[in-house]
Chains A and B, each alone.
Chain A
Amino acid sequence: MQKYSRILFHVYMGAFLIYLLLPLLVMGGAAFNDSKLPTIIPWKGFTDQWFIAMWNDNRIWIALRNTVLVAIAVVIIAVPVGTAGAILVNSINGRVRSILYGMMVAPILVPGVVIGISTLLFWNQFSVGSGLHLSVLGQVSYIASFVMLLVLARLQSFDQGLEEAALDLGATHAQVMRRILLPHLYPALGAGAAISFFQSIENFNVTLFTRGGADTLTVYVFSKVRSGITPTINALALLLILFTLGIAIWYEVSRRRRARIEAAREAEGRRAEDAELA
């Protein structure tokens, strides 16, 4: 019985992975099909014409440029803002802390539609028209929450005694920040920047209401899916998937290597300690 259920669970896991990954393969495969519609059935032969069509599509390049610019702007604003929020929340206690924390977490749960419309209306009253600059502000309002959570988690393992020691030894406040706090936070800041970047690229709801006439990739793909598509979109999709996957794998591999080095260093330290004792 035990063995039976184990096998059943393994099968379920496998089926779930197929369920998650197969649709992406189908979509990628359709990029190579020599058919006017994006499908893999019937298979009309291999072609690379959709990649060429994509390469020549000017709107895609503009949308790509817009997407990257917005994402970079979001990272530049969201990381400092989220970090400052985390440091502030971490330094206070009691009721104020839970209220502040609640306010910082809540934007994650607010529907993107609401964020988009409220950002549009708020800036419009100061005659700031819609456009990608508003998309940036709208996206930052909830993406900073992710940064805040990551940095706050990292701050839990921070030894404040180090700061005390530095201050006692005559370091300035700026030095304490730059030489002690920030180096400890670097992993969280890196992860926060990565998450901000990808959240921004993915964003649709906030961007749709604030973008004015400008395209980002998600908006562009969406408009294409709604209005007659060719497999050009599949070609684009495949490249995007490969790009993000490449980054994800690179990130994972470097994370594992760092973890290995750290473990080795710790073991080394322990050995040295043992040797000293002996």
Chain B
Amino acid sequence: MDDLLRRYGRGLTWGFVGLTFFWLVILVILPDFKLLESSFRPYLPVVDVGGPKDTYSINNYLRIFGGEVPMSIFGFEVLISPRVKVLLYTLWYSGVVTLVTFLLAYPLAYYLAKIVSPKSLPTLFLLLFVPLWVSEVLRSFAWWIILALKGPLNAVLIALGIIDTEIRWISGYSPVIIGLVYTYVLFMVFPLYNAMQSLDSNQIEAADDLGAPWWRIHWRVILPHSKPGIASGAVMVFMLSAGSLLVPAIMGSTTSGWFTQTIQGIMLEEQDWNTGAAFAFMLLTICTLVVTLAMWVFKVKLSDIAK
């Protein structure tokens, strides 16, 4: 701080502090507090706001329960409220998306970091970056076209003789997973690549010379070294998937609810901002827990993830 004052003088230093304050306090912290505060208040007509009925309670949070639908969890049939079911499915399938993107990205990152000649890297990266420049809504739309009942995918599969009749792809959660994997796979590739790139190739060669089979080299040398990259990619993909609204809304059907869609319904259709705040806060809490858990399991810091 003294350092800043000495270099830039009082005016500029206050400028830096003021701008940072505006960002962190006015744009981030206070709105989040307001979110928390609103989530405990009832949804009332305007005349009753601030009146005797306007008391704090956890009723909004309890609205996640209510109603019962069957759901099978690890083979057990249980009765559960539809909103909890949607939340559990959201978390579960976000995990699935994370795993699939990891499996897709790992060989690619290894190829980019250790196999391909460095000369072709810039071109490859330019090509890989193309989809990132295209907005999410258009990327989901592209898959919506491909997976349509009379769409190109079914046509190609029938022409190849792999299937006889068209498959209804847009049903259940699979199109949502396909869309999310396509949209977020690059967020797994780049951190993995960064981590692998810093591994000394001599270590791989040493393991190879000492007779380790290829899978063992990956399991004992490359994978442990890539741990920060895996953590960072997994956290990014999981958060983006669980927080995505576009992809589930475009690719989903009536049988695939996403928790963000639940929040959207409460906020924009029921116009109940207080319950919306409660559910949004739940989403935030759960996401924070997942990030903390991932950092703890992989023993990495927040600064490693944000790279």
* Contact-residue size bin, chain B (C-beta under 8 Å from the other chain): 35 or more
Given the known A-B contacts A118-B34, A121-B34, are A173 and B137 also in contact in the complex, defined by CB atoms under 8 Å? no
| Interface locus among A48-56, A58-66, A98-106, A184-192 | A98-106
**Which residue of chain B has its CB nearest to the CB of A243?**
B133
B28 contacts which of A107, A205, A248 (Cβ < 8 Å)? A107
B133 x A173 contact (CB < 8 A): no
Shortest CB-to-CB span from A192 to chain B, Å, is 14
A112 x B243 contact (CB < 8 A): yes
- Which residues of chain A have C-beta atoms less than 8 A from B130's C-beta? 20-21, 24, 245, 248
Shortest CB-to-CB span from B32 to chain A, Å, is 5
Interface majority SS on B: helix, strand, loop or mixed?
helix
A88 x B4 contact (CB < 8 A): yes
B131 x A39 contact (CB < 8 A): no
Max chain A C-beta neighbours (<10 A), residue from B115, B140, B280: B280
Shortest CB-to-CB span from B153 to chain A, Å, is 9
B131 x A21 contact (CB < 8 A): yes
Interface majority SS on A: helix, strand, loop or mixed?
helix
A181 CA to B277 CA, complexed, in Å = 42
- Which residues of chain B have C-beta atoms less than 8 A from A46's C-beta? none
- Which residues of chain A have C-beta atoms less than 8 A from B249's C-beta? 222, 226
Asked if A267 is at the interface (CB within 8 A of a chain B CB), the reply is: no
B138 x A27 contact (CB < 8 A): yes
Asked if A241 is at the interface (CB within 8 A of a chain B CB), the reply is: yes
A26 CA to B213 CA, complexed, in Å = 41
Q: Which A positions have Cβ atoms within 8 angstroms of B?
A: 5-6, 9-10, 12-13, 16-17, 19-21, 23-24, 26-27, 30, 38-41, 80-82, 84-85, 87-88, 91-92, 98, 100-115, 117-122, 124-125, 137-138, 140-141, 144, 149, 160, 163, 167, 172-174, 176-177, 198, 201-202, 204-205, 208-209, 217-218, 221-222, 225-226, 233, 237, 240-241, 244-245, 247-249, 252, 256
30 A-B pairs in the complex with CB atoms less than 8 angstroms apart: A9-B110, A39-B151, A85-B19, A101-B303, A103-B28, A106-B28, A111-B260, A111-B284, A117-B35, A117-B273, A117-B277, A118-B32, A119-B27, A121-B273, A141-B31, A144-B23, A144-B27, A172-B9, A173-B11, A201-B135, A204-B136, A205-B243, A208-B245, A208-B264, A218-B135, A222-B137, A222-B250, A226-B250, A241-B138, A249-B126
